[in-house]
Amino acid sequence: MAQSRKGALYLLLAAALLAGYILNREKSREQGKEEFPAVDWIRAQEQSDVGVIEQELLRRDQAEEAKRIQETAAEEAKPEEDKPMDKQSLRRRLGSAVIVGDSVAEGFLDYEFLESDCVIAEKGLRADSAGEEIRKALDLSPAQLFLSIGLNDLEYCRGDSERFVRSYRQRILEIREEYPTLPIYINGILPILPEAIEKKAELGQVSAYNEALRQMCEELGLTFIDSSDLLEGKEDWYQKDAIHLKSQFYPLWLNRMEEMAGL
């Protein structure tokens, strides 16, 4: 830091010398002689306390840092829909967190919002069979772990939310045993449109499963993330199966996770 400030000082002195030289050349053409008052000024500065200039440079650095912090705070305070939605920004903001989930979470990879080093997703993943995927996520040493499991359990557990939560709780306890302080966030099952429920009645148990998840989170001291409001009136964001989602939803979903985890 000291070397950079001295370098800045020398640049200021050199600029003053050049300016003084040019000024005096112009004057000499009119007066028929050459004078170099800038040289005297530079000599005077050399005799002055360099610390004064260093303090000025320090004040400038502090002002720039304060401006950066202010801009960052303003960005974080923006509503979800006003935050940057570009893929580079989304990847950067997620940091070292990892998401584990089923085919819905797989959309982060399919639409190339996130990379495979922060999303472990598997089509057909259930709470009772998620151990291997969770292990892969833990091997990445995440700072936060997001779980998004339950879609396939609706049919597999035949609408039995208690059976579903028993398996889910077991996965949480396995994580806690090895990583007792790792922050874990539980995503609720996302809404399913009526046309899909008409084909498979078990898919209509989303609310009951989410309530069971919410209670589990309260018991275990976890954060439950409800993103269902993001899909209200957005039926056109669903794919033809009325279950999976198009790309528009994923940046908003990630913003919600980020907000709930304080990232």
pLDDT score of 22 more than 70: no
User: CB-based burial of residue 164 (10 Å sphere; 0-12 exposed, 13-18 middle, 19+ buried)?
Assistant: buried
pLDDT score of 69 more than 80: no
Q: Span 199-225, mean pLDDT?
A: 96
| pLDDT at residue 29 in the model | 54
Q: Span 102-121, mean pLDDT?
A: 93
pTM of the model: 0.67
Q: What does the pLDDT look like over 30-65, one tens digit per residue? A: 554 455 555 565 566 556 566 666 676 677 777 777
The residue among 119 and 36 whose pLDDT is bigger is 119
CB 119 within 8 A of CB 98: yes
| pLDDT at residue 217 in the model | 97
Cα gap 192→235, rounded to integer Å? 10
Cα gap 196→211, rounded to integer Å? 21
| pLDDT at residue 77 in the model | 47
CB 127 within 8 A of CB 150: yes
Tell me the average pLDDT of the chain: 81
For a pLDDT cut of 70, what percent of the chain falls above it?
Answer: 68
What is the maximum alpha-carbon separation in the chain? 102
Residue that is written with structure tokens 């998840």 in the block: 213
Would you list the domain boundaries of the chain?
2-76, 84-261
| pLDDT at residue 81 in the model | 47
The residue among 165 and 75 whose pLDDT is bigger is 165
pLDDT category of residue 24 using cuts at 50, 70 and 90: low
Cα gap 44→38, rounded to integer Å? 10
Number of neighbours of residue 127 by Cβ within 10 angstroms: 25
CB 137 within 8 A of CB 145: yes
pLDDT score of 213 more than 80: yes
∠ CA 135-138-144, nearest 5°, is 135
Pick the CATH number of 84-261 from 2.40.170.20, 3.40.50.1110, 3.30.2350.10, 3.20.20.70: 3.40.50.1110
| pLDDT at residue 186 in the model | 98
pLDDT category of residue 252 using cuts at 50, 70 and 90: very high
Lowest-pLDDT range, 58-62, 82-86, 138-142, 227-231? 82-86
Torsion of CA 85, 87, 88, 94, to 10 degrees: 80
pLDDT score of 25 more than 90: no
| pLDDT at residue 46 in the model | 59
| pLDDT at residue 171 in the model | 96
